[in-house]
Copies of this chain bind each other. A is one copy, B any other.
Amino acid sequence: VPIKVGRIRDVARETGLSVATVSRVMNGAKNVRPDTRDRVLAASRKLDYLPNPAARALTTNRSKTIAAIIPTIEHSVFAKYINAIEQTLNLQGYSLVLAISNGDAQEELEAARKLLGMGADAFILSGAEHHTELMDLFQRREIPFVFTSIWDAASVHPTIGYDNFELARGAVEYLVAQGHTKIAAIHGPLMESDRTRKRKAGASAASEFPVQVDFYETELNVSGGKVAAKAILSSKKEYSAVLCFSDVLALGVFFCFHQAAVRIPGDISVMGFDNLDWSGHIEPPLTTINLPASEMGVSVADALMKHLKTGEPISGIQLFGEVVERKSVRLAS
């Protein structure tokens, strides 16, 4: 038989104090006498009292909940990032509500409505492209939000992340510096991600260098990488390097090349993007771009909570990725 759980007035009655005082104690107000506080705390424990979050949210208009809508979770780099967000929010008593949009703006809008209807205090979105209605909704309700996984100095809304354009350009430049002038770049569906589009644009922009970059679109998973690698091989284009916009894709390329007896980097160099946990362990170790996934999660969570606490506007934060040189890219003749 479950014991009825205490409410604030039970604690008040038990201690002979008023509900106001109990409330003060529960909220850590300083104008409470120490022994009064102790009495309240003791009674709370005795009655198994825990403030009702709904009542609290109703009066304060705050739920201590932050929502993140991500395109997918089946992608290590997002997992790492979400993990960092959750741990950071947790430290300050906030909770993370998660929704998955499958990279679709309409789904994202619906998820956001639901989460708003759940009382989320702030939103974390991926990328900069969203349903206009969603932006309207946020503006009307003054819901704080940030765009992540990107950094865009020109954005009206705060962005916290890295510059995908520059990162991809940097990757190509690195390859060029290693003597590669004919590169195949593999990326996931452009439709689903403005980050991917930015990377493609960045890789293209590097053509101010004496370099040719051809693009291969595929599914964003190991199998997709394999398919693209096969296409690259059969294209007979004689690329000296393959740049993958995700390590997951690179893994597929490794598998395909291995089967086809194409040696990395002997016959062709392969470069990744993400620096997943196995990237350094594969054979040969994968040269890739390290993305500050955890750091980004922490920054995002902190920025939002700070805004919620102080009311100061959220400022964007640029984070940086960098080339991790390993063994899958070699100097081309």
Contacts and interface: CB of A to CB of B under 8 A. Distances in A.
A145 B270 CA distance: 47
Interface in A1-50: 2-3, 5, 48, 50
Given A3-B140, A223-B277, A86 B64 contact: no
Interface residues of A, number: 63
A73 B63 contact: no
B90 A111 contact: yes
A45 B278 CA distance: 50
Contacts of A100: 83, 86-87
A93 B74 contact: no
B80 A74 contact: yes
Q: How many copies does the complex hold?
A: 2
Contact of A114 (B5, B95, B139): B95
A259 interface: yes
A74 to B, nearest CB: 5
A114 B50 CA distance: 10
3 shortest A-B CB distances, which residue pairs? A54-B57, A222-B278, A54-B58
Given A2-B141, A53-B63, 11 more contacts: A5-B141, A52-B58, A52-B119, A54-B56, A54-B61, A64-B118, A86-B99, A90-B99, A90-B111, A252-B281, A255-B283
7 contacts: A48-B140, A54-B57, A54-B63, A58-B58, A95-B97, A95-B118, A252-B281
Interface of A: 2-3, 5, 48, 50-58, 61, 63-65, 72-76, 79-80, 82-83, 86-87, 90, 93, 95-100, 111, 113-119, 139-142, 221-223, 226, 248, 251-252, 255, 258-259, 277-278, 281-283
